């Protein structure tokens, strides 16, 4: 989770509570769900954030939440905005891989050293989280006085800048932290920041660029130009964001605008002119969610009056209107401010009510049901199987459920369209945060092979086992994903063979009094003629065999590995 540095003195100033000691602030921050992780050399608090509350990635956002907690502010706050005097014209040459842009102007900002430091930190934290390391959204902040807008030809007479695609070698500019004129392609190879983010644009035929009447001043998502660099003397700022999704960059823009509003800035709208439509940004539209009174009371275990719920919602920075839905059921239509990107469901509203009330003030009570808790049948089966595997000499492991197509398929010599265990259409992540975790694993043996790969410096033999979650796409189900728990085990050593794996599998099945058969079969990950199907009680449940040499070489292993994997439910 992201860790943000917050100056406690700046926090006291922005909240208006100079009387708060450091210890009191830490207690108040903990009430917001912010974990104190330590202090920097300069005495700043290092706070760990839940990844949902991105509006708190700056001292301004934290101060806003504290003011609501203290009761100094109530309800939804929308910054006042002035009409647009600038426009961003989106040219048809913009790369289709990064087609969206948004922006805002903020005038009269008081940028002290602390304020500038907070703005830079907020920008980078948003890049790392919501912006997916700038791949989904990237932010540029510029000194407006250094821009010269081309005069528009429309009736509004707005000053224009242009977002377009450029020849990688066709124009030069001076990037931040540089004094040399470079082309965009040269920036990717010769500038430190350019090399860091080169992979985001280097394969494009045309690179994204933003121009004013003087020339190129921003090369998103890589780096800004030096001409428009922001300093503590800057008072009027131009904010631009580009990305792959309009909703994402609009919400990132909102968070920045709210932070600068807390610094005394006045937000001014910008017109975004696409070839086929026009937008006015920033988008401060308030969304609404409906939550029933009964649901609030049931989830929090408390009895509330209507006015109490409304009061708590206002103290959480929300607004609420009491209404009746369905068969005279009491409910609340809750207004959500535009910087709250985390409110997706009525449960998020209930969570805000609970935090405003104080989770530490909730009194635990026994449920009003005539039963006692206990392990689920599957959990008992899993525990028994795990104990048996440990008794057979295996080391019990717990690996990540998420992996990549490379690890799950390619390095195991198998493809989704093949026949055999693990050859399934995977449940993939649409926009993965990391290349290492792009899908849910379809079988467990690849995870065990990765452990063996990382343990080549350890003594052999190595006997590893895991009972873990697997999943694959199944459009016949409501969830479109089939889930299961698999038993997987490997033995690595100089003299291990198929017979060693089968002996342990037989002992495992015997412990659960189930009948085992191992008819010959073929599987791409195993050696032909040394592979069998795992058939339990007449039903095929998995595979057993000696891992193929190409799989061993792929994982840097220089000795034999045998293993098996099957569905845990077969042991019932």
Report residue 533 CA to chain centroid gap: 39
Q: Are 274 and 290 in contact (CB under 8 A)?
A: no
Q: What is the Cα–Cα distance from 121 to 59, expressed in whole angstroms?
A: 10
How many Å separate Cα 397 from the centre of its chain? 26
pLDDT at 155: 53
Nearest Cα to Cα of residue 413 among 455, 454, 451, 445: 445
**How confident is the model at residue 409, as a pLDDT?**
96
> Over the chain (572 residues), what is each successive 10-residue block's mean pLDDT?
86 93 91 87 86 87 94 94 95 95 96 92 92 94 93 64 95 94 96 95 96 95 96 96 96 96 96 95 95 93 93 95 88 95 92 90 78 82 95 95 95 94 93 84 96 94 96 92 96 95 96 95 95 94 96 95 96 90
- Residues 6 or more apart whose CB falls under 8 angstroms from that of 338 comprise 78, 251, 254, 282, 283, 284, 285, 286, 287
Judge contact between 260 and 112, C-beta under 8 A: no
CB 135 within 8 Å of CB 305:
no
**What's the predicted TM-score (pTM) here?**
0.71
Within 10 angstroms of residue 50's Cβ, the number of other Cβ atoms is 14
Q: Which of 220, 199, 200, 201 is nearest to 209 (CA)?
A: 220
- Give yes or no for a contact between 237 and 146, defined as CB atoms under 8 angstroms apart: no
Residue 4's nearest CA partner among 169, 120, 101, 105 is 120
- What are the φ and ψ backbone dihedral angles of 409, each rounded to 5 degrees? -120, -65
Phi, psi values for residue 51, rounded to 5°: -70, -5
Q: How far is CA 176 from CA 147, 167, 354, in A?
A: 15, 20, 45
**Residue 348 falls in which region: left (phi positive, over 0), alpha (psi -120 to 50) or beta:** alpha
pLDDT digits (tens, 9 = 90+) for 258-274: 999 999 999 999 999 99
Pick the closest to residue 568 from 447, 450, 443 (CA basis): 443
């Amino acid at each position: 989770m992201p860790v943000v540095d917050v100056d406690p003195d700046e926090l006291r100033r922005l909240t208006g509570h100079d009387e708060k000691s450091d210890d009191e602030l830490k207690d108040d921050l903990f009430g917001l769900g912010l974990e104190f992780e330590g202090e920097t050399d300069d005495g700043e608090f290092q706070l760990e954030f839940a990844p949902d509350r991105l509006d708190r990635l700056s001292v301004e956002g934290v101060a806003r939440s504290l003011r609501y907690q203290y009761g100094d502010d109530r309800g939804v706050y929308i910054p006042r905005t002035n009409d647009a005097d600038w426009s961003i014209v989106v040219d048809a040459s913009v790369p289709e891989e990064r087609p969206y842009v948004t922006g805002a102007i903020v005038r009269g900002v008081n940028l002290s050293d602390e304020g500038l430091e907070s703005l830079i930190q907020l920008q980078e934290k948003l890049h790392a989280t919501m912006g997916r390391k700038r791949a989904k959204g990237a932010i540029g902040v510029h000194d407006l006085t250094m821009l010269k807008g081309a005069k528009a030809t429309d009736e509004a007479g707005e000053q224009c800048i242009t977002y377009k695609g450029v020849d990688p070698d066709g124009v030069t500019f001076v990037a931040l932290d540089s004094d040399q004129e470079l082309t965009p392609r040269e920036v990717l190879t010769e500038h430190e920041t350019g090399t860091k983010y080169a992979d985001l644009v280097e394969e494009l035929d045309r690179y994204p660029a933003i121009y004013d009447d003087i020339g190129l001043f921003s090369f998103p998502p890589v780096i800004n130009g030096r001409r428009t660099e922001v300093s503590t003397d800057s008072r009027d700022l131009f904010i631009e964001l580009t990305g792959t999704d309009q909703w994402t960059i609009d919400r990132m823009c909102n968070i920045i605008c709210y932070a600068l509003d807390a610094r005394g800035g006045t937000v001014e709208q910008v017109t975004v002119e696409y070839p086929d439509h026009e937008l006015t940004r920033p988008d401060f539209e308030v969304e609404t969610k409906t939550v029933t009174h009964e649901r609030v009371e049931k989830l929090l275990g408390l009895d509330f009056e209507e006015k109490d719920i409304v009061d708590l919602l206002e103290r959480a920075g929300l607004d609420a209107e009491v209404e009746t839905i369905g068969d005279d059921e009491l409910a609340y239509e809750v207004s959500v401010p535009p910087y709250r990107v985390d409110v997706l469901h009525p449960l998020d509203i209930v969570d805000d009510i609970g935090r405003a009330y104080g989770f530490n003030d909730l009194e635990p009570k026994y449920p009003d049901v005539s039963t006692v808790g206990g392990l689920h049948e599957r959990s008992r089966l899993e525990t028994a199987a795990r104990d048996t595997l440990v008794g057979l000499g295996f080391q019990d492991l717990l690996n990540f459920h998420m992996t990549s197509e490379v690890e799950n398929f390619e390095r195991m010599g198998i493809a989704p369209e093949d026949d055999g265990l693990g050859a399934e259409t995977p449940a993939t992540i649409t926009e993965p945060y990391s290349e290492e975790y792009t899908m849910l694993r379809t079988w467990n043996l690849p995870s065990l092979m990765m452990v063996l790969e990382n343990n080549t410096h350890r003594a052999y033999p190595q006997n590893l086992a895991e009972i873990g979650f697997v999943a694959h796409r199944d459009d016949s189900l409501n969830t479109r994903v089939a889930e299961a728990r698999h038993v997987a085990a490997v033995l690595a050593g100089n003299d291990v063979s198929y017979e060693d794996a089968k002996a342990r599998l037989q002992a495992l099945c015997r412990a659960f009094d189930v009948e085992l058969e191992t008819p010959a079969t073929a599987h791409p990950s195993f050696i032909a003629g040394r592979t069998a199907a795992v058939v339990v009680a007449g039903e095929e449940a998995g595979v057993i065999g000696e891992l193929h040499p190409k799989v061993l070489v792929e994982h840097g292993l220089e000795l034999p590995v045998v293993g098996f994997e099957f569905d845990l439910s077969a042991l019932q």
